[in-house]
Structure 1
Amino acid sequence: MTCIIIEDEIPAQNILKNFLGKLPNLQLKGTFQAAIEANLFLKNEKVDVVFLDINLPDISGMDFIKTIKNPPVIIITTAYPDYAVSSFELETIADYLVKPFAFSRFLKAVNKAEKFIKKIEGTTEENSSETLFLNVDKTHHKIIVNKIVYVESDRNYVTIVTNTQKLSFIDSLKNWKEKLPENNFIQIHKSFIINKEFVDKITGNEIYVLANRLPIGRTYKQNLLKRLKIG
């Protein structure tokens, strides 16, 4: 698992780093003293867990969580027990550690986070196997979401392409970008969203998705390469 620390006190940072050093399954990607610094990092990098203090200089940890779209799993680390009850109203919080805490309590929190992540991944996998019924030409067509190869937009129409079907109907690409699970689908062009599981190869500014040659938009290429883990 990957993680970051958001903590404004250096001694508290050092304790967390020391504890993390004892767990080879946790990789620390960054340490931040302010939420605004971490926010810039999280816009470009994905992590599994955030160790988050509540009392931060620019914005409280609790308010910061609410600003993140699709936030990572959160472990609160704070000297204030007052927010414990209200914090668990936020779905991404796995545990609430009150300083000072022992390594054994820290380890328990990490184990909770790991279970939390597995639960989320299981739910995402179920969602990607969901079926949709598309009403095209007065016929309801069954579509398995994770079998969608790519989605193409042309003016007011959207075309859904699977390995067996090609269906066009009135809709927007923006609507489908919000509907499709983010872990599998990537927008590569203003007119195309692809399923990364079907990518065959990339040549220049073109991508082959299950033998379909599609253009890569200049502004989308960097994110595409990062999502595909191409250095």
Structure 2
Amino acid sequence: MITCIIIEDELPAQNILKNFIRKVPNIELIATFQTAKEANIFLNETPVDFLFLDINLPDILGIDFIKTIQNPPQIIITTAYPTYAVDSFELETIVDYLVKPYSFDRFLKAIVKVEKNTQRTQYASNDTIFLNIDKTLHKLYLNDILYIESDRNYLTFITFQKKYVLIDTLKSWKTKLPSHFYQVHKSYLINLNHIERIIGNEVYLGDQNIPIGRTFKSDFIKKFNSKK
């Protein structure tokens, strides 16, 4: 379930959003606010996955309000003024910009962007990660992961037990995982703890052999030798 709040001072606009949200089963609206001040107090105490934010609020401009939020969630702008679109997309947390009146189909396109970003924002601890796949969180122990394979916009996590496929990029996971996960090829990130042998341009993890990319080999061998 993806959680959200609405920050919108006009009641008719609030009601439209609430009606649209009710039609999407995996979104939970947990609060609605008419002022940025009230919303900010709530956000400091309760994390949410994303929020709907009107540009023209009675106490502050929506764009300026975003800059005051500590650890801001994903944001979908809702406004009658398209002129702020360029400025808003300079802020990384803004995923879409809905100009009123917008249709339910246009609303759904914004939600899809949030869902994809939420999949990339995985929950991790020192020894486990959670993969968001088809609206279900799957817990994986890092030590069980042999390697991660990239195929266009999809990643496959290969463990001793099974495979997990999700929409994401190898680049994003390089920064999330600990240092014993190392890239040996443009399409592969491996767990160094499970290396059994290296032969030529292949590294063997259990009964799996992974190619070593030419541009990665020198740094990989240095990394491998430093772990001995």
TM-score, normalised via structure 2 length: 0.55
1:130 Cα deviation after fit:
3.5
Counterparts in 2 of 1:124 and 1:36: CA distance versus 1, 3 Å: farther
1:40 Cα deviation after fit:
0.4
Q: Does 1:127 align with 2:175?
A: yes
Partners of 1:7 and 1:83 in 2: CA distance: 16
Asked if the contact 2:44–2:70 (Cα under 8 Å) also holds between the matched residues in 1, the reply is: no
Counterparts in 2 of 1:29 and 1:124: CA distance versus 1, 3 Å: farther
1:127 Cα deviation after fit:
3.4
1:63-142 alignment, distance < 5 Å:
63-121=64-122, 126-131=174-179
Q: Does 1:18 align with 2:19?
A: yes
- The match for 1:31 is 32
Q: Secondary structure at the match of 1:29?
A: strand
Alpha-carbon displacement from aligned partner over 1:64-106 (angstroms, at most 9, x marks no partner)? 1111121100000000000111111100111000000010000
1:114 Cα deviation after fit:
1.1
* Number of positions where the alignment pairs a residue of Structure 1 with one of Structure 2: 133
Q: Secondary structure at the match of 2:60?
A: coil
TM-score, normalised via structure 1 length: 0.54
The list of structure 1 runs, each at least 4 consecutive aligned residues, that deviate by more than 4 angstroms after superposition, is 122-126
Asked if the contact 2:81–2:99 (Cα under 8 Å) also holds between the matched residues in 1, the reply is: yes
Partners of 1:9 and 1:38 in 2: CA distance: 15
- The match for 1:49 is 50
Partners of 1:115 and 1:41 in 2: CA distance: 25
Tell me the C-alpha RMSD between the 2 structures: 1.9
Partners of 1:109 and 1:24 in 2: CA distance: 15
Aligned AA for 1:127?
T
- The match for 1:5 is 6
Q: Secondary structure at the match of 2:67?
A: helix
1:72-221 alignment, distance < 5 Å:
72-121=73-122, 126-131=174-179
Q: Does 1:59 align with 2:107?
A: no
| Unpaired runs of at least 5, structure 1 | 133-231
Partners of 1:82 and 1:116 in 2: CA distance: 25
| Unpaired runs of at least 5, structure 2 | 123-167, 181-228
Partners of 1:26 and 1:126 in 2: CA distance: 29
Q: Secondary structure at the match of 1:131?
A: coil
Counterparts in 2 of 1:17 and 1:42: CA distance versus 1, 3 Å: same
